[in-house]
Amino acid sequence: MARKGALRLIQGVREGRALSDLSDALRALPVADQARAARLAAETLRHQGRADAVIARLVARNPAPQIADVLRLGVVEMLELGAPAHGVVGAAVDLARGLGKRGQAAAGMVNAVLRKASACQGWADLPPQRLPEWLREPLAHAYDAATLLAIEAAHQQGAPLDLTVKPGATPPPGAEALPTGSFRLHGPVHVSALPGYDAGDWWVQDAAAALPARLLDPQPGERIVDLCAAPGGKTLQLAAAGAQVTALDISDARLRRVTENLTRCRLSADLVAADALDWRPATAPDAILLDAPCSATGTIRRHPDLPFIRDGHGIAELIALQAAMLDHALSILRPGGRLVFATCSLIPDEGEVQIDEALARHPGLMVERPDLPGIDPAWITEEGGLRLRPDYWADRGGMDGFYMARLRKPG
């Protein structure tokens, strides 16, 4: 059942839908099978390039797309996840037969190919899933070939679970303390069953995503606006520091999620549903956190479907939106106030270039170089921002790709 659900998810991604939007495809499965199906689908997408390399050695011509997905699922389950070959092969044959006449005709081929694949050597030596060209091209201008390969290898490894813990609270047992102040859990985790979840002692937040709020350095009593606040991790950080937080998002539905997170963690903030380009506060805030809409290319280790459902279309519009939001945020910030601009993107045009151009547009605007615990000086960029990459902390499980910079408005 889980394998059939995984195949539905993979085929949904081929149709352009995100894994997070495909929960209906698993609704009929028991909860345990839903989790297993989601994991199988994600691992198959992470390792598709390696699986295709194995399959290509064993077939005379490329299989039809649905049959190729059955073969990929089988190869990854055997060679990456270590499942016994006899069970995987039999299940794959059944999956193929369930695909109609074409699948029934291909069942014998699926059986033969996967039996041979189970004995393949050198799986660990195959190169990781290659980034799509629409993303690889801009990154190739920013990084050398070895760095690109390291980023791709980090994506293939997936991501552990990171937590931000409220001041004075205790992290769950077994959580690793990270140099920047986050905590990390490895292996499969049932989040809501962990100690401290119901008490609101912590929330799930990648270690890289936790740094923009720390870079802003919120102080008790300060008026701080979190633009584009949902799902609320940074709002929680600001509120936990004692700031008077206004959390703004354009979506009422997304703000409801912020409300749920604030309630569980016993924190408070003023929530506003509005367009960040139009909204103006009654009183100019002391600080603003702008985690701007972006390509989300820094989150591929968590979202292996992203390279398959995006084609680079719309990134130019996102870059223009980021610049407009940054200009508007500066216009509502009090003189002498500070603003952190952040994007969970690997593309320099959504990070370093945005800050260079903002400095050119706004005379007197300054970048304040980061001075945070656990930060490697090599992560600090020429203009004074902080560039994080998935291959950083490779021995600890990596981090999301992020860019952030703290700006000081002229007094």
Considering 228, 265, 294, 344, which one is annotated as catalytic?
344
- Cα dihedral sign for 358, 359, 365, 366? positive
Can you name the residues that pair with 387 across neighbouring β-strands? 403
Helices marked H in 47-198 — which ranges? Answer: 48-56, 65-79, 85-97, 101-117, 133-142, 145-157
Strand, helix or coil for residue 289: strand
CA 378 to chain CA centroid, nearest Å: 22
What letters, b where the CB count within 10 A reaches 16 and e where it falls short, cover 86-100? eebbebbbebbeebe
Pairing label, strands 402-408, 338-343:
antiparallel
For 92, the token pair is 């794959």
- Is residue 344 part of the annotated active site? The answer reads yes
Can you name the residues that pair with 289 across neighbouring β-strands? 226, 340
Cα-Cα-Cα-Cα dihedral of 383, 386, 392, 398, to 10°? -150
- Cα dihedral sign for 203, 204, 205, 207? positive
The Cα-based distances of 280 to 214, 274, 372 in angstroms read 24, 10, 31
Closest among 88, 250, 266 to 167, alpha carbons compared: 266
Element (H, E) at 208: none
Q: List, by residue number, the catalytic residues.
A: 344
